[in-house]
A and B are shown apart, each in its own frame.
Chain A
Amino acid sequence: MVASVFHPLNIFLLGLAGGFAIPLLVRISTAWLSAGFFIALVGIWVVSGVSLLRILAGEPPIDILTAGSQPPIAISLRFGLAEGFVAASVNVVAILGALHLWDRLRGNYAALLLYLGLTMGINGMVMTRDLFNLFVFLEIVSIATYGLLALERTPAALGAAFKFIMATVIASSFFLLGTGLLYLAVGTLGIDELIAARSGITGPIGEAAILLVLASLIIELKPFPANGWGLDVYETAPSGIAAMVSVGASAGVFFSLVKLLPLFEHQFTILAAAGGLTFLLSNLVGLKQSNIQRLLGYSSVGQMGLLLLALALLHQTGRTASIPLVVGGLFLNHLLAKAGLFWIAAVTRQRNVDNAVGLAGHPLLTALLTLFLVAIAGLPPFPGFWAKWELVMQLTSAARSPWVVLILAGSLLEAAYMFRWFVRALSPQEGRQVAMPSVSALFPVMAVALLLCIAGYVAARASGAGAPWIFAPLLVGAALFLLDWMPGRAKAVLMLAAVLSIGGFLAQAAQGIAWLFAVLLLAGSLTIAAADLYRDDVRPGYYPLLAVLLLSIQALLRSSTSLEFFFAWEIVTLSTGFLIMKGRRAGPHVLSFVLFSLLSAFLLLAGFAGIAASSGTTDLRAFMTRGPEENVAFLLLAVGFLIKAGAIGVHVWLPGAYSEADDDFTAMLSGVVSKLAVFGLLMGTYLAIRSEVGLELAHAMAWLGMLTTIAGAVMALRQTDFKCLLALSSMSQLGYIVTAIALMSHLGWVTALYLVANHMMVKGILFLAVAGIILRTGTRSFAETGGLARAMPITFGTVLVAIISMSGLPPLMGFGGKWLLLSAMMDKGWYFLAIAGLLATFLGFLYMIRLVGGLFLVRPEGGRVTAGEAPASLLAPQIVLIVGIVILSLYPKLLMDPVSAAIDPQFASTLVWNGMSLEMIYGYWNPAPTMITAVAIALILGLIARLLRPAPRPDAVDFRRLVMLDRLVPGLSVPPVAVVFWRSLANGSVGAADLVRRLYTGNGQTYALYVLSYILVVYVAGAGLVGLWIGD
């Protein structure tokens, strides 16, 4: 009984009966009409869902032959696992889409009928096992689409629909011809029989038939450049219809291709090329697009290209086991996320990317838009992320690296325009606020978002990374998001409690160096995050995101496979980006932050894939045992981590992002978040230990680090904005750490960790101090402030301590760090680097003196600055950090012994480190006497100076000179080469996009010509030029 009620054939019964009933129901009343429509539509979904559940429960696939006869008289259908998955997911989106479109559909019986027909047709395309029947369902879908497109009456929409019809008529006619010829060649239309007989399909007719069917199916998927007709419809159709065409109809066509794929086994390269070209170039053209629906159109055709590419390549390389995860994941991701994007653009009434709508005041809308954008960009935790990871892994291990490059390049371009939209939509907008949509308008969007999250979890399980702790940061974030209505400080306390408990739990499971980082960064995070209490405003979304960030850092340090690492890495990147976005003027900087981060992430992905391909495992411990074969992977990882560390050349994202983030968050960015790049670099460097080339690369990396230090210092010298000066100082200090890591010796690595601890505390203090100064004076410019030593004595004191520790002056721990670094370089014989290090230290002194002098000693030209001391909630964390500095200055072994122990297992067994033992170095540097001596010398020198000269006025000319250094330095420094380079790269890409999109002239005949030429090109590519000649 149940089986017959929920038999898949009832999908068609409901579709057709609903179709016939609707013209009758409309005569009764609109309510009957609506009820009849939804009964049929929901019925279709229920039938497909129940049948899918039956199959999941272990029942065999359901084969259907209608009318109790055999093909070709009977219609042959199949409802197996794959069919059920596609049909059920398309049907649920169809229901939600109808709800979204309801304003337009209500009472319009023709539209309701067509919508039902469209849904049924897609189900038919998915289920049919007969080639001609496929043609019929394709036409049902097409005609229903033609009709629904007429819902929009603007001339542009009508014109677009006409072009759409022209192109699809040509494609489907060729499909029909191919079907007819295939029947002539094989004598059957059954897909299963055709596949069974495929080796016999030879000769000109069979070959032509196969190629025609293939080419017309590709055309229906809207390949570049024969897709202008599709894009025009995406741009002009009602959002709900465009979404249905983008995700529903395309799903039907794509699944048809999947079914027929064995017929095309000699054409995999054509498929991959068609998909790859479309993915890359559609996403390129998207860069120049500002109409949102057309932008989504470019993204849609791009995603279809990616699906095609993945399908073809995985088949070609025999990795069919990965197809459910990769193709299924990408398909579901696109289905849900793209539908969500089309709908949310309509709900927020945003038609153009450049017209900011002021979403910032709506946390829910913001969260939804963000979720869809993140999903469509293939980022975690959504199915697209897991699918892309698996795809890249498989393609790399099958030595298809060029395709990996293409996929990553296309993904980066797609992320670029998607995040451009994000930044514009969220930019604070004076006077304009989007009206809060009604609950009924939001329901479909929220439902699809929920489904996307569930799908992400399922995909994670399928990838073998479904451990609960991986998702702990996101769950905590979601829980805090639900409490976002609470007062700001209460949320801050809750966030701190969550980070302490869950973060502590995560940290304890980390091992080795990762454990050290975990403890250090957890302590640092909590201390710096406590400073958030100085703000009492609501800060919507800030605390949940901060919790996600800080916990993801712990999750990253705990991860044991490269997949877990990469997952956490991406979450860290995203949450950081969104937190920077909270700064009022951060918009453009967020975009460059996200893009550089993604570039870095994709390099890491490629590096991880390379290691997994050669070692056969994603276990991170593989890093410690690999040899010279991993040089390329090391290079990729190193560059990836260096981008995130803000190394010279790729530092251009750093100053803006640091400067424009909220003041307390910058402290977190510089103090804590930047250390993850250092951790990654340390981990990646293990790969280089065992090879000569690797050591050469490491030498290059050392120079890169030192040049970063120098460049950062020079740029800091020129800054008139003291927060930006600190940002550049952060870049400069990270350079030292990079150099220390590149030393590839025990001593170097101990130094690196020592510097990490020092920098975390120092930058935490300095940025928090600056946050206090900005709070009290309201400016970030040296010119508008100064002479604060008396007004803010405690801040002055903390800054002074931090500066001394950072500069490497005795007696604080920075001195130990510098000493160790120089020792390690001398030990290694890198004398030039040591000299460069001294130069860098000198430049560092200069900008630090500028900072202290400019803020505290020299009065501004305008006169007195009145300001009070910073609030206690800002000062307390600084003092805690100072205590940390003092402890580690006096007892460096507290840190160094565990560090040394954590590093030892790797280095003790290798030959690289054969210099002095660490104990000997310690022997040279016993901090207590050194510091006492240093302090004594300083005192004596100071005394002598005092005796020799009369007491100088506090605002001595020397300081003023130093503070005004920015006016002297420009002559010495190089032009902003990196900025110019990256800007021209960006402009070049946009220029190229503008050039390519000229192909889409908007003329239907041109589009028809493209379609014809495309079919011809596919034919020639498959059959060769000989195929154009009739006869033997």
Chain B
Amino acid sequence: MTTILPVSSILLVTGFGLALIGLCCILLHRHLLRIIIGSSLFGTGLHIVIVATGYVTGGTAPIIDRALGPAEPGRAIDPVPSALVVTAIVIGFAVTAVMLAYAIRLHSARKTFDIGAFTESKW
């Protein structure tokens, strides 16, 4: 399969793009759920970037099967970044769950999802 751009570049651009969208979402939207979605997007974008860094041109999945014999590990992409990202996805999932739980409690405390309503402690 040939593409105009290497797969890794497409992934990098997509990943950083998503991360930026996520950051904008965190900073610009006052709604708690949107902020949570933003941080999820931010994390996902960075996950894609890290996966992209492990890409080897023309490489296949690092699983020894019919497509990849035991004698040719060089043809596989680097498995370490993928392993990192799998772990990070799990962590990200947990963090998102905790944030959502807080959002529910915050809403039941103030009947609003506006982050501007939670500024009692300051200075």
Q: Which residues of A contact B (CB under 8 A)?
A: 72, 132, 135-136, 139, 142-143, 146-147, 150, 153-156, 158-163, 165-166, 169-170, 173, 176-177, 179-181, 183-184, 189, 228, 231-232, 235-236, 288-289, 294, 997-998, 1000-1005, 1008-1009, 1012
Contact = CB atoms under 8 A, between A and B. Distances in A.
Please give me the 4 A-B residue pairs with the lowest Cβ-Cβ distance, nearest first. A1002-B122, A159-B118, A1002-B119, A180-B50
Given A156-B120, A162-B99, A1002-B120, A183 B81 contact: yes
A235 B103 CA distance: 20
B95 A169 contact: yes
Given A236-B121, A1005-B30, 11 more contacts: A72-B80, A158-B105, A158-B106, A159-B117, A162-B99, A162-B103, A162-B118, A177-B50, A180-B46, A180-B50, A1000-B122
A154 B42 CA distance: 29
B26 A170 contact: yes
B122 A162 contact: no
B96 to A, nearest CB: 9
Nearest to B42: A173
B91 interface: yes
Contact of A153 (B30, B50, B105): B105
B67 interface: no
A183 B53 contact: yes
Interface of B: 19, 23, 26-27, 30, 32, 35, 39, 42-43, 46, 49-50, 53-54, 80-81, 83-84, 87-88, 91, 94-95, 98-99, 101-103, 105-106, 109-110, 115-123
B121 A159 contact: yes
B27 A170 contact: no
Given A153-B105, A155-B120, A158-B109, A143 B53 contact: no
A971 to B, nearest CB: 46
Nearest to A993: B123
Which of B23, B102, B123 is most buried by chain A, counting CB atoms within 10 A of its CB? Answer: B123
12 contacts: A136-B87, A150-B101, A153-B109, A155-B120, A156-B120, A170-B39, A170-B42, A173-B19, A184-B81, A1003-B116, A1004-B35, A1012-B23
Residue from B43, B83, B116, B121 with most neighbouring chain A CB atoms (10 Å): B121
A166 B37 CA distance: 11
A169 B53 contact: no
Contacts of B98: 143, 146-147, 165
A1003 B115 contact: yes
A1004 B122 CA distance: 10
A150 B115 contact: no
A166 B39 contact: yes
B122 A161 contact: no
A1004 B118 contact: yes
B123 A998 contact: yes
Contact of A159 (B39, B42, B119): B119
Contacts of A189: 80
B78 to A, nearest CB: 8
A180 B121 contact: no
Contacts of A159: 106, 117-121
A143 B93 CA distance: 11
Given A1003-B115, A1005-B30, A294 B84 contact: no
Given A132-B84, A146-B98, A156 B121 contact: yes
A1002 B123 CA distance: 7
Contacts of B106: 155, 158-159, 162
A104 B35 CA distance: 31
Nearest to A1003: B119
A169 B39 contact: yes
Nearest to B16: A177
Contact of B115 (A153, A169, A183, A1005): A1005
